[in-house]
Structure 1
Amino acid sequence: MAEPTFEELLHGSRRRAVHLEMRDGYSRNDPVFIDWAAGQPVDPAERYRPWPEMVRENTGRGVEMLRARIVSEPISEYIRFEGEVTKDLNIAAGEDVRWLPRRRATDLTLPGNDFWLFDDGPALINHFDGEGDSTEHEIIDDPSIVSLLASAFDAVWERAVPHAEYWPA
């Protein structure tokens, strides 16, 4: 049996899909990031299609989509980019996004990788190389690991600052 795709996992969610991001940079060869870094205007909702449509479709059927980002401060150029495009991309589409400064996460038990968790499982674990490029993913449905991931996300979410209230100097 073939492994389900991200889209299938998301569309199979009934209550919530949560995403924990813990890196200070991703895919720095992303053309949208490169254009933004060069000072060119970018329309993230247009450039990252079909993400906004996928979010609207799922939130429209009652699935809560939550994204938490753990970040170092001062923030990296890539995180500054993410912060600037989040309102027009993620928030406008219906995601709820929060930020947690890394220094406030010291006492939290966190997994070693970014992940998506769909309802009470499965989880999609993202693996990246040292430059922030995605190398592979794996799907885990082991109840003990899923429980650990859910607990980690909830702890981060409880402490994190809503996007509208977070923007470091």
Structure 2
Amino acid sequence: MNLTSASSDRIRKLQESFPDFAFDLFTAGNSEFVSCIACWVENSELLEQKWNAIQNMIALHYRSERKIARWNVYIAFFCRDHVSRPLKLLIENDKFTARKLVFDSGTENKSWKKKEVALERLNYEIFEVNLAVGQSYGMKVEYTPSSLVTYLRNYSSATTEDKLEMIETLLMEYGIHENKKS
């Protein structure tokens, strides 16, 4: 699983309300099980002044249709300037609306504003994977889902008996069943 660029229509209101910031939306495939709103800002003073207002607007206007996906929303702030440790901790420890990440580059280099660089950093931070850049496909990662992920995909549509069987199989697979014979 990795993040890719998604429709920016859902964040247009953010761009209109905060013209000093640039925004983009990344989701984990079509499912939007994990989504991240990336925000780029030139200096840490603007970040300090506006981050809370941005998260409040996101709380009002950006909501996933799927309940489980609401717990997997990230807001990532990319700042060209150095961001002080107290400000970084304040933002990242605030869990209202979404989990937050702060990246500062402290350099004049333009790479801090590139979408590919942001995707690489976000995929590493969120999924802890190293990505290879695919030819004209953007970021690409090989992902083999565990049996737990496979079961979770089918869980909501399964019957009660199927759910019990899934749980039993997973417990046996991971060796933590209370009735497991030694």
Name which one, 1 or 2, has greater alpha-carbon Rg. Answer: 2
TM-score w.r.t. length of structure 1: 0.33
Structure showing the higher helix proportion among its residues: 2
TM-score w.r.t. length of structure 2: 0.32
Which structure is richer in relative contact order (CA contacts within 8 A, separation 6 or more)? 1
